[in-house]
Every structure is written in C-alpha cells, then in structure tokens.
Amino acid sequence: MQNVLIVAEQSGGHLRKATLHAIAAGQVLAGRTGGKVHVALLGKDLGGLSTELAGYGVTVHAADSAGLTHYLAEAFAPVVAGIAKEVGAGFVGAAATAFGKDLVPRVAARMGAACATEVLGFGGSGAAVTFQRPMWAGNVLAEVDLTTPVKAFTVRPTEFPAAAKGAAGEVKAVAVADPGALPTRFVEFKEVKSERPELTEARVVVAGGRGTKGDFKPLEELADLLGAAVGASRAAVDAGWVPNDWQVGQTGKVVAPELYVAAGISGAIQHLAGMKGSKVIVAINKDSEAPVFQLADYGLVADLFKAVPELVEKIKAGKGS
Amino acid sequence: MPLKILVTAKRVEDPESKIKVKPDGTGIVTDGVNYKMNPFDEIAVEEALRLKEKHGGEVVVASIGADKSMTEIRAALAMGADRGILVKHDGPLDPFVVSAILDKLFEKEKPDLVLLGKQSIDDDQNQVGQYLAERRGLGQATFASKTESLESEAEQKKQPGVVLAADGKSLRVVREVDGGLVTVDVSLPAIVTCDLRLNKPRFASLPGIMKAKKKPVEEIVAASLGVDLAPKVAVKKLSEPPKRQGGLKVADVPELYAKLKGEAKVL
Ligand SMILES: Cc1cc2nc3c(=O)[nH]c(=O)nc-3n(C[C@H](O)[C@H](O)[C@H](O)COP(=O)(O)OP(=O)(O)OC[C@H]3O[C@@H](n4cnc5c(N)ncnc54)[C@H](O)[C@@H]3O)c2cc1C
Ligand SMILES: Nc1ncnc2c1ncn2[C@@H]1O[C@H](COP(=O)(O)O)[C@@H](O)[C@H]1O
C-alpha cells in the first residue's frame, strides 16, 4: 500500500484548476496501490482553501507560513519532501504547469526519486505502475519505469478529468521550520492581466501566428465574442507581438479546448504538440499546402484578415437571430 | 568580476527532422536523421558568451554521450567557448544520471554559474537543472528569459539577459512562468536553465570554426566518475501516438460557420 502526495498550486489563496486534474491522476494511482491521496498546500494566508481542497476527499497538509509567501523551489521543496516522508508517499506529483515543472524535479532529487514529466497516463499492472509520457514533441509515446523506491511525476492536466467533490477529508496543519537564508530571493512578478479565461482552461482558444503580421485585433475580437482565450505560435511570441505566456506548443502551453482556431499558423510539429488534443480544430491559412491543414477538422484557405472578420459578423448575426 | 561558467550542450535530433518509431518499439529510426546541439543549449552557450564578453572569465562546455557528441562540443567552441569536456557514455541516459554526472563535473570545475537548456527536445524531460541545483544545494533559476523582446536594441547589442549584481555575488534572472514573468535574485554559484526568449544565438564564424579545432577538449569515461549509470527513468517501450484524422476543407466562411454550428456544435 503506497500513498500518493499531490502538491497543490495556488496564488493569493486561489486554487489553480490544474491541481484538480493532478488530484484525479493521484486518485487513479491510489486506486492501483490501495493507498490514499494526500495533498500538500503551501503558502501564506491560505484561508478557506484547505477546507475547500479537503472537499475532494483527500487529506490536506497545509503549510501556512510567511516564508512561503512567494513560491521558490528552494523554500517549497524541503516542506513538500517532509510531508511526503511523513505520509509515507510512494508517489509525489503535481500538474505539469510552470510551478510543477520547476518544483517536482527538485523534490524528487531531494528524495532520491526519479521523475517522469508531462505524464499522459499510467500503465503496468496493479501496484507496479509505469508512466506514459510524450517525447520528441509528441511524435513518440514512451512507457517508462521509474526504478527508485519513491517515484515523482508531473501530469498533463488535459489528460485527466478534474477531480470530483467527495466525502470531506481531514485538514492537518504543517509546522514549517525556518529555512534560514535561501540562495534565491523573490523580487517581483509582472503579471499579464487579462479579462479572458486562462489558456489552459478555456473552452475555446483562438490562436495566431506569423501570418497575423503582429495584428492580433481580428483574432481578439473573435475570441471575445466566443469567450475564448488567445494563444500564439512561437513566431508571434518571439517577435514580441504578444506575451510569452500565450505560446502554445512543445515548449509552451498544452491546450485541449473544445474548439481551437489556428489563424496564420503553418502547423510546425512543435506547435501541433500543444494543441492536437483539441476536440475540433479550425485552420485559416492563405497557403493551401500548410501542414496545419492535415490535422484540421475544418480548413479554410483564405486571408485571415478577410475571413476572421467575416466569421465574427456571421456569429454576431447568428446570435441576433 | 570574471565568471567561470559551465554550460551544457546535448546532442539531439534536429527539430526539423521527421521522427519515426522502430517497428519493435525499442527506439527511433535514426537513418536520414540529422543531429545538432539541443536548441535550448545554443541559447545557454550564447548567454554564457555574452556574460564572458561583459565580465571576463571562462566558458567551459560539457556534453555527455557517445563519441559523436564531440561535434556539439566543437560547435559550442566555434561559437566562442574556451574549452570542452566530453563525458563518454554509450548507453541510455536520464536526468537523474546526467545530473549526477554534472554534479561531479561541478566538483571538479567549481564554476560560478552553470547554464543549461530548460529542456532536451528529444526526451522533453525538463529536469536536469532542477536536479543539479538540489544535488548541490544551490539556487535554481529555471526558464530564464528577459523583459525586452528579441527584436529590442539590447538584443541587437548582444547584452546578457541574466544580470550580474554590482557586488558580483548574485544574478538577477527574469523567469517565464504561467501568467507572466517573475524576477528572482539567485546567489552565486547558481544553476540557470534557459528558455526560448533569453537571446538569439549567434552563428559560428569561419575563423571561429578554425579556432575551435585547436581548443582543448578533455575526455572522461563516465564509468570513471563513480556515478551509478543505470537509468532510473527506464524506457520500456516506444510507440507512435494515434494519428488525428483531419484534412477536410471548407469553401468559404459561410460553410465554415454552418459546419461549426450544425455539425461540430461548438458555437
Ligand atoms: C526548440 C524549439 C521549440 C519550439 N517550440 C515551439 C512551441 O512551443 N510553439 C510553437 O508554436 N512553435 C515552437 N517552435 C517553432 C516552430 O518550429 C515554428 O517555427 C513556429 O511554430 C512557426 O510559427 P508560425 O506558424 O506562426 O510561423 P510560420 O511557420 O512562418 O507560418 C506562418 C503562416 O501564416 C500564413 N499566412 C501568412 N499570411 C497570412 C494571412 N494574411 N492569412 C492567413 N494565413 C497567412 C502562411 O501561409 C504560413 O503558413 C519551436 C521550435 C524549436 C526549434
Ligand atoms: N547528455 C547530456 N549532455 C549534456 N547536457 C545535457 C544532457 N542531457 C541533458 N542535458 C542538459 O540538461 C538540459 C535539460 O535537459 P532535460 O532535463 O533532459 O530535458 C538540457 O537542455 C541540457 O542543457
């Protein structure tokens, strides 16, 4: 019987939804090993978040301390590893967000654990769990075995449903030792403020590439009409047209919305790696040979500056009727 | 203050190449595939060179892998790195083992800074820097980026994005995270992993390539380092993911709208 520890991600007392998908993955694992799911929640002024999380049928270990106000791997890793030892966790994981990707390998190193990142699912049988993960920009699916006693992982949130509320679990307060002077200090966070839904959580994503020539206005108008998030290819981000945070792909965000509209994006394998799990893909591109058309459900060979505004008008007219 | 920088250069499949899995699932088809330095490592090498140009010091490039990884070391030397270390190992590697080897190189070289890529584009792990930082008890600044764009004047002038403090004791690093950019100060020695927007790597010049041939490269057999080389992330099987069915074209916007509304029901 091995327990599972999932690290929750929050900012300002608000839970990142990705955490619920990681908890669901943890529940799958616990079902396999016969263990329980524990959740580590770290920060300052966590308020009602611990109880909210416990509502998912897990035991929450809340570390509420001034030293954890701003996330730093150096401050968080020892606390997470401490909780993992305390609960006898055989598996330690989090969602594969920037937070999880930064933290979990450090926790793993601390525990002498090997780590599988961006996990898509679990294989093996019974308590002998193997991990399925993508390689080569999603061109290859690998099944890996972690040979260390404790196994660490990050899960791709789009591959697991969000955990459902269950019988309320326990909340335990964790005493945090003073870590002393850390080698890293938080200076500031420049947040990209947006009224739009978060890219990884949106029902619809409208994304633009080099073909926009820097003018994202038509795409933003379509996005706002649909309550969508806006995404971008690396080329558009590198040019400085849109925030880094909008990049979709192998080395950016992975999204799987109900509808993904790619406009002025050629469809390089590194971009496709971040959106090919979308339910319906629309491609709008001037070049009928663009690779993105091979995987799009609906391809439209057109100038995006004509087609996108026309689509906006159509949708508006449709809403009016 | 001059900086001694250790930078890593992994040999990987060219991101432009088509990757196919062998029918028996034991590996990928390597026929016709080109190899090069991991693109994130090119960014790390570039950053190391800019820091050296600004503050003086030495740039040591390390690669772990089969003999052929010498090509990637020479490529970094041609960009301007001073010397190389090739840690020879033929079998499979993983971040657990690579970071243990880099830990040994750190002990030997005692650099002020280790610059790595954030991720290998073959295994897509994104772990080695974080492991190395914890193994050494050092600060980690992963996903290093900068506030100015790659089209900015600072970039044209090849200014480092990672900034050394006036007292020479720490680095200020802007990190790409979800929802924006976070800035941290990290004490030296430090571990920094580089993201895409940190810089535009330079191309090696012809004189650079000629000089690189004469620069010293130390060869170390991995087995001599006292590190357990057995992979802890053991790949059991590779397969090709299910292909997505697509390819349908619509004639115009009204047809697209009709399909999205009527057939796909997503509007
Ligand atoms: C290590 C590495 C990591 C990478 N990671 C990522 C990643 O995470 N995400 C990512 O996206 N990329 C990534 N890339 C980059 C990727 O390889 C491509 O270079 C990039 O996706 C291309 O962006 P694009 O499609 O916008 O530009 P292009 O390939 O230049 O395509 C522009 C398209 O716009 C079309 N177009 C032009 N004008 C119009 C118009 N008026 N109307 C309609 N269509 C028009 C053109 O026909 C063309 O198809 C990575 C590359 C490397 C090496
Ligand atoms: N075999 C290797 N030789 C040199 N550097 C490596 C090797 N493997 C990984 N690295 C470095 O570690 C970074 C992160 O790799 P990974 O954690 O494997 O995705 C890469 O960008 C490289 O800089």
> At residue A217, does pLDDT exceed 90?
yes
Average pLDDT of chain A to the nearest whole number: 97
Domain segments of chain A as ranges = 2-173, 199-319
Query: Amino acid letter at B75?
Result: A
Ligand 2 atom with the shortest distance to the CA of B7: 23
Which residues of B fall within a CB distance of 8 Å from A183? 137-139, 186-187, 190
Structural domain boundaries, residue B228: 3-263
Domain count, chain B: 1
Beta bridge partners of B173: B184
A156-190 pLDDT per residue, tens: 999 999 999 999 999 999 999 988 899 999 999 99
Binning pLDDT at 50, 70 and 90, where does residue A319 land? Answer: confident
* CB-based pocket (< 6 A), ligand 2: B 8, 10, 38, 40-41, 63-65, 93, 95, 98, 116-117, 119-120, 123, 125-128
Residues B60, B82: contact at Cβ < 8 Å?
A: yes
The protein residue with its alpha carbon nearest to ligand 1, atom 22, reads A235
CA of A265 to the centre of ligand 1 (A): 5
CATH number, position B129:
3.40.50.620
Which residues of B fall within a CB distance of 8 Å from A97? 178
**Per-residue pLDDT, B222:** 98
A32-68 pLDDT per residue, tens: 999 999 999 999 999 899 999 999 999 999 999 999 9
A60-103 pLDDT per residue, tens: 999 999 999 999 999 999 999 999 999 999 999 999 999 999 99
| Averages of pLDDT over each 10 residues, chain B, 267 residues | 97 96 97 97 98 98 98 98 98 98 98 98 98 98 96 95 98 97 98 98 97 98 98 98 92 98 95
For domain A2-173, give the CATH superfamily.
Answer: HUPs (3.40.50.620)
Binning pLDDT at 50, 70 and 90, where does residue A1 land? Answer: confident
**Per-residue pLDDT, B224:** 98
Q: How many CB atoms lie within 10 A of CB A292?
A: 26
Q: Output the six-digit token pair for B173.
A: 């690093």
d(CA B233, CA A176): 31
Q: Do A2-173 and A199-319 come out as alike in CATH topology?
A: yes
B247 touches chain A (CB under 8 A): yes
Q: Which of residues 174-193 of B touch A (CB under 8 A)?
A: 176-187, 190
Query: Which ligand neighbours the alpha carbon of B38 most closely?
Result: 2
CA of A66 to the centre of ligand 2 (A): 34
B240 touches chain A (CB under 8 A): yes
Beta bridge partners of B134: none
Q: Output the six-digit token pair for A238.
A: 């590198």
Instruction: List the one residue out of B228, B235, B233 whose CA is nearest residue B100.
Output: B228
**Per-residue pLDDT, A312:** 98
By CB atoms closer than 10 A (0-12, 13-18, 19+), residue B136 is: buried
Complex prediction ipTM: 0.97
**Per-residue pLDDT, B125:** 98
A103-116 pLDDT per residue, tens: 999 999 999 999 99
Which residues of B fall within a CB distance of 8 Å from A307? 253, 256
Domain A199-319 top-level CATH class: alpha beta
**Per-residue pLDDT, A321:** 60
CA of B8 to the centre of ligand 2 (A): 7
Cis peptide before A157 (omega within 30 of 0): no
B241 touches chain A (CB under 8 A): yes
To probe the interface with B, which of A19, A103, A106, A238 has the most B CB atoms within 10 Å?
A: A106
